[in-house]
Amino acid sequence: MQAQQSSRPNVVVFLADDLGSADVGYKGAEFETPNIDRLCRDGLKFNRFHSMPLCSPTRSAFMTGRHPVRFGLTYSVVRPWSYYGLSVQEKTIANVFHEAGYQTGCIGKWHLGHTHEKLLPRSRGFDYFYGHMNGSIDYFEHTRDGSPDWQRNGETVRETGYATELLAADAVRWIEARDKTRPFFLYMPWNAPHAPLQAPEALIAKYASITDPKRRTYAAMVDAMDQGIGRVVAALGRGGLMENTIVLFVSDNGGPRGQGANNGSLRAGKGTVFEGGLRVPALLHWKGRVKPGQTDQVSCVTDLLPTLAGAAGIDVTGTKQLDGMNLWPLLISGKTQPREELFFAVQGEGAGTAPKQHALRSGDWKYIQIEKEHYLFNLATDPDEKNNLISSEAARAADLRSRMEKWVALHTKAEVITSSTPHPGWVQPSDWSKAWVR
């Protein structure tokens, strides 16, 4: 049994935070991402990969292979001091790999619940966690709202350094100190280049030619993340692991244009169901197993659990009904397959007051409803969503709307975790590592 486990591939998942669709070198960015570009050159580039429009929904979809509409993380993110998170009734990708004999680590941004022990990473299938709980932190102070949000396995870590660099260094240590008789699953959800826009001065100066100060700092933050990815990949190389390690790189949503991101010609950005909010850079690398090139397969973040499990030979029939599909046979064969339905929803920034947005993609057609506004696009001929065909294709729009409404009806409230210990109430914690209860 041990020999079978050790022959399985390792898996490393790099999840960028708020990276625009055009914000990597291989997509024409004006800043450097040589390590990501190298993985892309030697791996498989996804041309039509979609995440959810916001952080927590994407993370929950990745974790479960299921749409967040099913467990209450559909429209917004887990806000600081919220009493909910990823439902404890859901089995995670870390559970799946851990049960298959993998050692599992999460290094970076969690953002799936923090006020109860059951919501924390080490209760969700991860042997090890280093990073922060909330959606954003100060990159140098490692604080959220003035309180420390930086920990290792539930204990606050007080250290100096730029967060992106610290995460990379910890990942290298974890890889080198692992149990070398077992395969590993490492999930690295970077907080870069999510706001606040902060980077080492030397990196900001490197991009002095970029006149927009937000874009300049944003570029430096992406550069720092790319360097961190390079350090982790180098550690894999030193250990002779690249031939038996699947490396995935993807962003959690489209870029926020107001924070320096660039989504190219795609319409809108983060927090919307237009392509600029959904279509993200993505690539898969497995030396000697995945043929370099690109795929036009329409893909979604919900596909990652069944696809990575499929690549590793892990049976996922014991999980709940998955919304994602196992793309592994298509990816290694170079074939594509039409997608019958992909559903997206968001309430955007200022949740509770902003209008809800819903979208359904079927084949090349995409229907969008934002209150009284209705759109229909043919993404094959109009990927930038400029030509609204709602009037000329009324019957098609009505069909897609009817199918979309069935998804909307699945929405359930987020599960609030109760405890015999009273919740401390809406009081600013002095230490986010101590904000949870049992």
**Per residue, what are the HEC states of the chain?**
CHHHHHCCCEEEEEEECCCCCCCCHHHCCCCCCHHHHHHHHCCEEECCEECCCCHHHHHHHHHHCCCHHHCCCCCCCCCCCCCECCCCCCCCHHHHHHHCCCEEEEEEECCCCCCEHHHCHHHCCCCEEEEECCCCCCCCCCEECCEECCEECCEECCCCCCHHHHHHHHHHHHHHHCCCCCCEEEEEECCCCCCCCCCCHHHHHHCCCCCCHHHHHHHHHHHHHHHHHHHHHHHHHHCCCHHHEEEEEEECCCCCHHHCCCCCCCCCCCCCCCHHHHECCEEEECCCCCCCEEECCCEEHHHHHHHHHHHHCCCCCCCCCCCCCCCHHHHHHCCCCCCCCEEEEECCCCCCCCCCEEEEEECCEEEEEECCEEEEEECCCCCCCCCCCCCCCHHHHHHHHHHHHHHHCCCCCCCECCCCCCCCCCCCCCCHHHCCEC
- What the block records as the tokens of 174 is 């974890």
Torsion angle in degrees (nearest 10) through CA of 2, 183, 127, 137: 180
Q: Residues 55, 106, 194, 285: which is the catalytic one?
A: 55
Catalytic residue among 50, 111, 114, 194: 111
Cα angle 96-101-102, degrees, rounded to a multiple of 5: 75
Longest dimension (CA), the chain: 61
Q: How far is the C-alpha of 210 from the C-alpha of 193, rounded, in Å?
A: 16
55 is catalytic: yes
Catalytic residues, by residue number, are: 55, 111
